[in-house]
Amino acid sequence: MSQLSEIRTAVQANWPDNYHDTFLTDTKTDEYINAAQRWICRGTLIIPAVKILNYNFSWMKTEVTASTVDSQRRYALPDGTSTPLKFKSEISCELVDVNSKRRCLTRKFKQDIENDPTYNDTTDTGKPAVYCVDDFDLWLYPLPNHAENAGSAWTINLEYYGYLADLSGDIDTNTLTNDNPLILEYGATELGFRYGQDKEQADYFKSLKIEIFLEMVKADQQLEYSGIEVGMQPRAGSGLGEAEPGTANYYTNDTPYD
């Protein structure tokens, strides 16, 4: 377990003395630590001659609820100011009605919804069945009509992957500082060497950062999939990217809750 101040001290110890003394202040060091944290949360890694790895860690999962507004289509996604994590990508979206019954909404791309004759009339109202994420908003189709929910608002339950909040105070901690502080140290150290135009040292710390990242992915997959019966376990590499268009459940969830 490490606090922000301890990681900052470790990063600065990796640099030549003149780095911190002349151009990499404590504030700049903290910026690099947070940049490394955002890189981890983005989870995108290009592995030469292998694949592009897109990964969401299980500790990035969170949920938020909101209430529908009669005839309102657009709803702001979590920006991290009043919710645990800033929105990165959704996992699922469901409506909960006045009787506490849940229905999983179908996700489509906005352009596909707009080209669907079912939704040609933009004033149509009813029980929302389809949603999309566009322009950092959640869109519902058709427009919510609370008359179809006994005059009450539906609860929107959004499960999503989110970004960790930036570290700012000296004693700040989070999942990464507690369990994997070295990846933050190495990532920030790499950025400092790049600023100092020392490519060799930057590439060295980058390799250390990537090594830890891949170990984190392995450990996270073991946590996510351990205990699943043989035959139900995902094939190797699953969960590392989005489904291909045309595959099962790419646009729909076949099992509504109600």
pTM for the model stands at 0.83
Report the distance separating Cα 106 and Cα 103, nearest Å: 10
Please, which pLDDT band fits residue 230 given cuts at 50, 70 and 90?
A: low
Q: For residues 39 and 166, is the Cβ–Cβ distance under 8 A?
A: no
Please, which pLDDT band fits residue 249 given cuts at 50, 70 and 90?
A: very low
* Domain ranges, ordered by start, for the chain: 4-47+166-225, 58-163
Report the distance separating Cα 126 and Cα 135, nearest Å: 23
Of the candidates 143, 163, 169, 164, the one whose C-alpha atom is nearest the C-alpha of residue 154 is: 143
- Structure confidence by residue, pLDDT tens digits, 147-158: 999 999 999 999
Checking if the pLDDT of 236 tops 90, the result is: no
Ramachandran quadrant class, 72 (left: phi over 0; alpha: psi -120 to 50; beta: rest): beta
The pLDDT, as a whole number, for residue 244 is 46
